[in-house]
Chain A
Amino acid sequence: MNTLDYDLSKKTSVINELGIHARPAAMIAKLAMKAQSDVWLCKNGDRVDASSIIDILSIACLKGADVTLQIENPEDINILNKIINLFEKGFEELA
């Protein structure tokens, strides 16, 4: 997976106050687990498996962090969009 189609990756940022702690990580992982192929979460050159809560937590996405989500299989585009949507809604956490 060296030449990624642009559409297979999307940028977003963390807007919720506490950053990506366990609960948001679990929400991401739950979706990513349903994907046909791997889903990746990237931040500052680190790339982790989005289906693993522990992996997601390990790159410490704080509020304001810019992240990129990547998929490998175009069929997973709906999952990608759903995850991006979670980020945009601040993981339904009230400020």
Chain B
Amino acid sequence: MPSDTTQIILKGISGSPGICIGKAYLVDKEGVDVIEKYSIPENKVKKEINRFKSAVTKAKNELADIIKGVPEELRQHAGILETHLVLHKDKMLYGKAIDIIKNELVNAEWALREATSQAKSMFSNISDPYLKSRSADIEHVSERIMRNLIGCKDVNISNIDKRVILVAHTLSPAETSQIQLEKIMGFITDRGGKASHTSIIVRTLEIPAVLGLDNATQLIKNNSIIIVDGSKGVVIVDPEEKTLINYDGLSKKYETRKADILRTSDLPAKSADGHLFSIMGNIEQPEEVVAVKDHGGEGIGLFRTEFLYLGRMNFPDEQELFNQYKEVAELMAPHPVIIRTLDINGDKAISGIPTPEEANPSLGLRAIRFCLKNPKIFKTQLRAILRAAAYGNVQLLLPMISGCEEIHHTHQIIDEAVESLEKDGLAYNRDIQIGIMIEIPSAVIMADAMADLVDFFSIGTNDLVQYTLAIDRVNRHVAYLYNPLHPAVIRMIKHVVDTGKKKNIKTFMCGEMASEIINLPILLGLGLDAFSMAPQSIPSIKNMIRKISVSESKLFLKEVLKQTSAIDTMNLITDTYGDTLVNGIYDKYTDK
């Protein structure tokens, strides 16, 4: 690269494929920097104080309404909100801010900011980590008052009025799902990894994204021109003209290839030697059924049900759940709809209620563990699923199973749900197929015993890779180790598929591993016959299956099983299938 260049190349993790070129828009989550300071004439001080007081009152009322909406079973978590309510009028915050307005003759926003940072600084000397983290409570309260002072609702994403590329330190799944496609071309973040929830959602949106860039928010200024290459995980800031022209061409090529493959998505996924595969879509919301159908999906292989539980103050009731499940079942009939029961960390179930965080949430009280501990919540969902099963080909999938007793326990609760439905005289289907997610190594080892208790296995590779290789997939320091082609992972999958065949039950794969064409030769060789993935991955996977011969891939697998590292495996794939892959959708294999 010539030395007079001004362009900066940043390397991150590919979040979602595709290329976009546009202006950067930095999301300032704290909003701290945008607070103006101006002086208030002495005769207006009283008015300014009243403005502050009424913002506090509004904030308190807002919070009081939120508390009212908290359901009975979560009352204990609402305690912290009651505390926040009292904090609104705390001398050190409320009194202090008023003093600052009076004494320094400044606007209320600035005074609040000053009072908040003084209050927070009192916590900096505390050594106890739990008490120290309570300064977050002050921040929450202060933020709510600030929002009422400034008079804007949510500062972020919803206010953007031109097409931009979002640059953020981090985006939560909830924020990501608020992205309006007509305004956002792509996005990049400092944090996050390939299999983070944010990345999964952004792939559904089909916009390019690069995650885990470390310090993008510091290096990129608002309105800078940036290129996002989501396929390679590269971001170029202030590109030279030559780079721009090059990427403009690549972007067009990518779009054309994508359109070509999309046109063939209705064709069956029949391998070169005539084996038929079932390709289904992963969804979070009923609206996505359309995307699955448009991309040629033959069913819903994974219906993540968390969405209805997030971003609200209470748990959804049975009728609301039932309506949603029924809608999806009817839209997709006669194809299967596999509904995964709640896979959630209990503390995060309800937004706005901060609770002490678990040190290791992915190893903590989540998914089936949370449900079995909260049988009332679980039973509500099971009843809704059993009822929806009367309207289509609905199947039940249990996440995070680590031992047989969890399956037994769930069967018991299902029996209770059936009994109560019978009593209530509601239509339901008891003969629903029940499957488990294989995503914990203990479930792999115990697959033979578990196969006797269920109708199918669904391999969730994201978690299986994370738990097998001991990698926190959102930790960018170890994200490089996250590789589904690790020989241990391939051998584990083989064990599950073989066991399923021996016990005569179906085995699906619904993790991200199934959506990358490079993994397909191995997956077909392993003998999996159904895959589920993000809707937009379906066309390229179907396209690739049509080019692969299953009998050849079985021979190929024998070679794969001899490899001892992910890199060797990767090289073997590109050596053997390189030509086939070159015609695939991803630029990273074609632009070498």
Say if the beta carbon of A72 comes within 8 Å of chain B.
no
Q: For residue B91, which residues in chain A have a CB less than 8 angstroms away from its CB?
A: 49, 51-52, 54-55
Check if A60 sits within 8 Å of B128, measured CB to CB: yes
Q: Which residues of A contact B134 (CB under 8 A)?
A: 21-22, 57
Within A12-54, the residues touching B (CB, 8 Å) are 18-23, 25-26, 29-30, 49, 51-54
B83 and A58 contact, CB distance less than 8 A: no
Contact A23 B80 (CB under 8 A): yes
- Does A62 touch B at the CB level, under 8 Å? yes
What is the interface of chain A mostly: helix, strand, loop, or mixed?
A: helix
Q: From the candidates B90, B127, B128, B130, name the one contacting A54 in the complex (CB within 8 A).
A: B90
Judged by a CB distance under 8 angstroms, whether B82 is at the interface is yes
- Least CB distance from B60 to A in Å reads 14
CB distance from B75 to the nearest CB of A (A): 13
Whole-angstrom CA separation of A20 from B83 in the bound complex: 13
* Chain-A contact segment, one of B118-126, B182-190, B212-220, B416-424: B118-126
Output the nearest chain B residue to A58 by Cβ-Cβ distance: B122
Give complex CA distance A23, B134 in Å: 10
Is B302 an interface residue, CB under 8 A from the partner?
Answer: no
In the complex, the answer to whether A23 meets B131 with C-beta atoms within 8 Å is: no
Chain B contacts of A58 at CB under 8 A?
122-123, 126
Most buried by B among A20, A21, A54, A58: A54
Whole-angstrom distance between the alpha carbons of A51 and B86 in the complex?
10
Option from B87, B131, B137, B138 in Cβ contact (under 8 Å) with A62: B131
Check B92 for interface membership: any CB of A closer than 8 A: yes
- Asked if B93 lies at the interface with its beta carbon under 8 angstroms from chain A, I say yes
> Are A21 and B131 closer than 8 Å at their CB atoms?
yes
Residues on B with beta carbons closer than 8 Å to the beta carbon of A62 = 128, 131
A27 to chain B, nearest CB (A): 9
Residue contact A53 to B83, C-beta cutoff 8 Å: yes
B90 near A52 (CB under 8 angstroms)? Answer: yes
How many whole Å from B267's CB to the nearest CB in chain A?
60
B71 on the A face (CB < 8 A): no
Q: Mark B85-99, 1 if CB is under 8 A from A, else 0.
A: 011001111000000
Q: Which of A19, A26, A49, A55 sits near B82, CB closer than 8 Å?
A: A26
* Shortest CB distance A53–B (Å): 5
Quick check: A22 and B122 within 8 Å, CB to CB?
no
Across-interface contacts of A54 in B (CB, < 8 A): 87, 90-93, 119, 122, 138
A60/B86 in contact, CB under 8 A: no
B79: CB under 8 A from chain A?
A: yes
Chain B positions within 8 Å of A20 at CB level: 131
B122 touches A23 (CB 8 A): no
Which residues does chain A contribute within 8 Å of B123, judged by CB atoms?
57-58
Contact A19/B80 with A29-B86, A54-B138 known, Cβ cut-off 8 Å: no
Per DSSP, chain B at the interface is helix
Is B92 a contact of A55 with CB atoms below 8 Å?
Answer: yes
Interface size on B (CB < 8 Å)?
Answer: 22
A25–B127 CA distance with the chains assembled, in angstroms: 18
With A54-B122, A60-B126 known as contacts, the answer to whether A22 contacts B80 (CB < 8 A) is: yes
Is the Cβ of B83 less than 8 Å from the Cβ of A18?
A: no
Of the candidates B79, B126, B128, B131, the one having the most CB atoms from chain A within 10 angstroms of its own CB is B131
Nearest CB of B to A17, in Å: 10
**A37 → chain B closest CB, angstroms:** 14
Q: Nearest chain B CB to A56's CB is how many angstroms away?
A: 10
User: In the complex, A23→B77 CA distance in Å?
Assistant: 11
**In the complex, chain B residues 253-275 whose Cβ is within 8 Å of any chain A Cβ:** none
Q: Which residue of chain A lies nearest to B115 when distances are taken between CB atoms in the complex?
A: A54
Q: From residue 50 to 109 of chain B, which have CB atoms closer than 8 A to chain A? A: 79-80, 82-83, 86-87, 90-93
B138 — which chain A residues lie within 8 A by C-beta? 54
B86 neighbours in A (Cβ, 8 Å): 26, 29-30, 53
Interface centre among B83, B123, B127, B128 (most CB of A within 10 A): B83
Chain B residues with CB below 8 A from A57, complex form: 122-123, 126, 131, 134
Point out the residues of chain B lying under 8 angstroms from A30, CB to CB: 86
Task: Chain B residues near A55: list those with CB within 8 A.
Answer: 91-92, 122
Tell whether, in the assembled complex, residue A19 and residue B92 are in contact, meaning their CB atoms are under 8 Å apart. Answer: no
A residues within 8 A CB of B92?
A: 52-55
How distant is the Cα of A8 from the Cα of B558 in the complex, in angstroms? 84
The residue among B86, B126, B127 with the most chain A CB atoms within 10 A of its own CB is B86
Query: When chains A and B are docked, how far (Å) is the Cα of A54 from the Cα of B117?
Result: 12
Q: Which residue of A lies closest to B121 (CB)?
A: A58
Inter-chain CA distance A20–B126, complex, in Å, is 12
Distance of A60 Cα from B579 Cα, bound (Å): 65
Give the Cβ gap from B139 to chain A, nearest Cβ, in Å.
Answer: 12
Give the distance to chain B from A86, nearest Cβ to Cβ, in Å: 14
By the criterion CB–CB under 8 Å, are B87 and A53 in contact? yes
**Interface membership of chain B positions 128-148, coded 1 if the CB is closer than 8 angstroms to chain A and 0 otherwise:** 101110100110000000000
In the complex, residue of chain A having the shortest beta-carbon distance to the beta carbon of B89: A33
A25 to B92, CA, bound (A): 13
Among A25, A53, A60, which residue has the most Cβ atoms of chain B within 10 A?
A53
Output the least CB separation between A57 and chain B (Å).
Answer: 5
Which among B82, B127, B132 has the greatest number of chain A C-beta atoms within 10 A?
Answer: B82
Give the A-binding residues of B (Cβ under 8 A): 79-80, 82-83, 86-87, 90-93, 119, 122-123, 126-128, 130-132, 134, 137-138
Top 9 closest pairs, chain A to chain B, by CB: A54-B92, A58-B122, A26-B83, A52-B91, A60-B126, A26-B86, A22-B83, A54-B119, A52-B92
Please name 6 pairs of A and B residues whose Cβ atoms are closer than 8 Å in the assembled complex, sorted by A: A18-B130, A19-B130, A22-B87, A23-B82, A52-B91, A54-B92
17 more contacts with CB within 8 A, not counting A19-B128, A26-B86, A57-B123, are A21-B130, A22-B137, A23-B82, A52-B92, A53-B90, A54-B122, A54-B138, A55-B92, A57-B122, A57-B134, A58-B122, A58-B123, A58-B126, A60-B127, A60-B131, A60-B132, A62-B128
